[in-house]
A and B are shown apart, each in its own frame.
Chain A
Amino acid sequence: MTNFNRRILLKGLGGAVVAAPFLSSIWERSAKAQAMTTPKRTIVMFTHYGCITNKWFPAKLTGELTAADLMATNLAPLAPFAKKLLMPRGIRTMNEWTANNTGAGKGRGQGNDSHTQIAGSIFTCQPVTPNSNDPFSFGDPKFKAMPIGPSLDHVMAKQLSPSGTPLFMNVAGMSKEQPQSAISYSAGEQIFTAVTATQAFSGLTNLFKQGTPMNADTWAISKGKAITDIVKGDLSRLMAKDMSKADKDKLAAWMELANQVGSVVASAQCTQELAMTLGASNKLGTGTGDALTRKVNDTMDNADLYSAIAALTAACNANPVIFLKYPNNFTFSGLGINADSHNQSHRLSDASMQGPCVKDAVANLEKIDSYYAQKFANLVKMLDSMAEDSGTVLDNTVAVWMNEMSDGNAHNLNNAPIIQAGSGGGYFKTGQVINLDAASGATPEQMLGRSLSQCVDGTPQTSNGVNQGTGTDSKYGNAPVNKYFCNIMNAMGMKADASGFPAKDGPASEVTHFGYSDKTEDFAGGAGAVQGATIHNPGGFTELKAS
Chain B
Amino acid sequence: MRAKFLPLLAVSLFPLACSSAPQDHALPEAGASAGSAGAATTVGGSASIDTLIAPEGLTVTPHPGGCGALDVIALTLRAGPTNGELYAALKNGGETPACSPAFSVQLFDSTEQMLANGLAGLLVKRFYRLTDGSNTIAACVGPGDTTMVAITDLPAELALTDVARVEYWCNFWALDVVETSGLRLSNVRAVAREDGVAYTGALENGFDVALESPTVAVFPLNRAGRPLGVARGQGALTVPPGDNWDFETDTVSDAGVAFAAYPAGGP
- Residues of A with Cβ closer than 8 Å to B? 99-100, 102, 113, 115, 134-144, 173-174, 176-180, 329, 331, 338-340, 342-343, 348-355, 465-466
Contact = CB atoms under 8 A, between A and B. Distances in A.
A352 B69 CA distance: 9
Nearest to B172: A352
B68 A138 contact: no
Contacts of A465: 173
A1 B121 CA distance: 44
B169 A138 contact: no
B119 A138 contact: no
Contacts, number: 126
B117 A174 contact: yes
A354 B174 contact: yes
Given A138-B139, A142-B100, A177-B117, A352 B173 contact: yes
B93 to A, nearest CB: 13
Given A351-B65, A352-B68, A142 B121 contact: yes
Given A180-B102, A350-B68, A351-B65, A340 B169 contact: yes
Nearest to A178: B119
B68 A178 contact: no
Contacts of B104: 178, 180, 329
18 contacts: A99-B134, A99-B136, A100-B134, A113-B102, A134-B139, A135-B100, A136-B99, A136-B137, A138-B122, A141-B265, A144-B121, A173-B114, A176-B155, A340-B64, A350-B68, A352-B174, A353-B173, A466-B173
A343 B65 contact: yes
A107 to B, nearest CB: 11
Given A143-B121, A177-B117, 16 more contacts: A136-B130, A136-B139, A139-B123, A140-B264, A142-B121, A173-B114, A178-B104, A180-B102, A180-B104, A329-B104, A350-B65, A350-B67, A350-B170, A352-B173, A353-B173, A466-B175
A136 B100 contact: yes
B117 A352 contact: no
B60 interface: no
A136 B136 contact: yes
A99 B98 CA distance: 16
Contact of B65 (A137, A173, A339): A339
B45 interface: no
Contacts of B137: 134, 136-137
B118 interface: yes
B119 A144 contact: yes
A141 B212 CA distance: 13
A134 B173 contact: no
Contact of A138 (B63, B69, B123, B174): B123
A366 to B, nearest CB: 19
B120 A140 contact: yes
Contacts of B188: none
A351 B65 CA distance: 7
A331 B63 contact: yes
Contacts of A174: 114, 117
A81 to B, nearest CB: 34
A177 B140 CA distance: 26
